[in-house]
Amino acid sequence: MEIRTDLAIEAGEIFGKDNLPDGVKVQSQEGNNITITRIDVINEEGEKALNKKQGAYITIELKDVELNTLEIHNEVAEAIDKELEPFIAKTGGRPSVMVVGLGNRYITPDALGPKVVEKIVVTRHVQKLSGGSNDIDSRLGNLCAIAPGVMGVTGIETGEIILGLVEKVHPDIIIAVDALAARKTSRINRTVQISDTGIVPGSGIGNRRMELSEETLNIPVIAIGVPTVVDTLTLARDLIENATGDSLRENIEKDMLNSCGADNIVTPKNIDMAVARMANAISNGLNMAVHKGFDFNDISDYLL
């Protein structure tokens, strides 16, 4: 049975710390409330082993169970700001940034992207209308944002919408935010993954759409994702893999497949609150990364 996960850190854990395949480099650092793990997939061998494209994968994990204090919230936002900085800097100067909030705003576990977009400080229209006027605060970056919805609602492939916007708006870089799938429930709503390899909308639930990446859009695409669901069969395998033999595990997996089906996913009962908190932290980090000099840390009014 395939283990379904969008997280590079979980794909690497299958091999163990001492048995990582060639082409995969891992570094970790500890913060007060978070752990940051950087995984670099540097060649085809590493790409094949992890089933992840070559590139950088940065994972920010909460040590606490919930993102429920201002201190933890600020540390996550500042980490996102810091990790995004080198990706944005590669485009040179003060680039035009487009934030894309992927997902279905009407389905709570999939609403992360649209909720992030709601709290983004957009400035492209102000910059454009000012015509370079000195009246605009120099700390403000050039930022636009969109939540294009999903094909089931719009009837249009999300990738086609973004490609059309890129051709018209001409951003220098895209930052796409989406909900992901994890292998372990312990990482749901406690993990933020940042990567420079782009993203495939819907892949977390096995509904793969057109890829959003530098190869398809001709500009850098940075993906930010938070796991909000875990596949039922993947969860079952994770729970029993250390407690049973191979043959018994296979029988249990077959029973799970027959009784639950292959398309069910699990999400926590407090998913609405958790997604809202993560959306606040991510939008705060994005605002700090683009609008340098502003202090977006005082978000106590937004904490749930």
Measured CA to CA, the distance from residue 250 to residue 288 in angstroms comes to 48
Residue 127 has pLDDT above 90, yes or no: no
Residue 20 has pLDDT above 90, yes or no: no
Following CA atoms 118, 58, 35, 270 in sequence, which dihedral angle do they give, to the nearest 10 degrees? Answer: 40
Give the model's confidence band at 242: pLDDT under 50 very low, under 70 low, under 90 confident, else very high. low
Name the average pLDDT for the chain: 84
Average pLDDT of the segment spanning 35-51: 92
Residue 260 has pLDDT above 70, yes or no: no
Q: Which residue has the tokens 């729970």?
A: 239
Residue 281 has pLDDT above 90, yes or no: yes
Residue 205 has pLDDT above 60, yes or no: no
Tell me the pairing of strands 173-182 and 96-101.
Answer: parallel
What are the Cα distances from residue 127, in Å, to 60, 110, 131, 144, 203? 32, 32, 7, 11, 35
pLDDT of residue 303: 38
Q: Lowest-pLDDT range, 47-61, 115-129, 225-239?
A: 225-239
Give the model's confidence band at 238: pLDDT under 50 very low, under 70 low, under 90 confident, else very high. low
Measured CA to CA, the distance from residue 99 to residue 116 in angstroms comes to 9
Residue 146 has pLDDT above 90, yes or no: yes
Q: Which residue has the tokens 């909720």?
A: 115
